[in-house]
Chain A
Amino acid sequence: MGSHALYFVAICEIHSAHKDGGTAMSSAAGAALAVGDQAPDLIYRTREGQQRHLAAAWADGPALVVWLRHFG
């Protein structure tokens, strides 16, 4: 039972690394980002297809930005 679980985990890790291109998720620039740096923007699309900027959140005042893990 234990060895089966470990085997399953190993397969999942290999699949995950392959899916991710074998590289770490975070970019080198992202990992180096620190307090005091300029927050990177994100351009995204709304349901209506309009282009928006994450930076709009802090354009006129402070913002709390939260990155959620999953959406289900």
Chain B
Amino acid sequence: MEALAQLREQMPELEKLGVKLACVVQGDADEAAEFCGQYGMASQCIPDPNKESYRNFGLDRTTWGALLFPSPELKKRRKENREAGFAVSVKGTLKNHCDILLLPGAAVVARGGKILWLHRGKNPADLPAAEVMLEEVRKNLGSATVEHRAGEGNS
């Protein structure tokens, strides 16, 4: 299923855990709001038309070969999206700010900015399912709390 639709389903759980969700998209503010608004996620979307955040977190680009001759994993992801009623819009991918070769990624960041978990996509289909990301949130927030408490004990 489209990542934003999956993440929307996890919003109540994220809110319960006190975790903010930030979805970075390639478009400018209007394009991001338009795209994310379709999923009721406009307020969670961060526009990054210059791909600055993608670069800063070390996300790479794939090749045209990988898109045009997709791996079994990418074929499977595309099929799942189609069956769920989501399809990549050619119009969307041809917009000025859209770099179709960009790879996805995800991170769990602790309060204050320390990176607790970082996933850089190795191929276009390599974005963990929302349930997996939520599991990483739970796992990493647990260890961050333990680390924080240990730090308090040392001071």
Contacts and interface: CB of A to CB of B under 8 A. Distances in A.
Given A44-B46, A45-B47, A67 B30 contact: no
A32 B98 CA distance: 25
A62 B108 contact: yes
Contacts of B69: 9
B19 A64 contact: yes
A70 B100 contact: yes
A64 B111 CA distance: 11
Interface SS of chain B: helix, strand, loop or mixed? mixed
Contact of B29 (A46, A57, A68): A46
B105 to A, nearest CB: 4
Interface string B15-57: 0011111111111111111010000000000111001111111
B113 A38 contact: yes
B123 to A, nearest CB: 11
B64 A13 contact: yes
Nearest to B106: A66
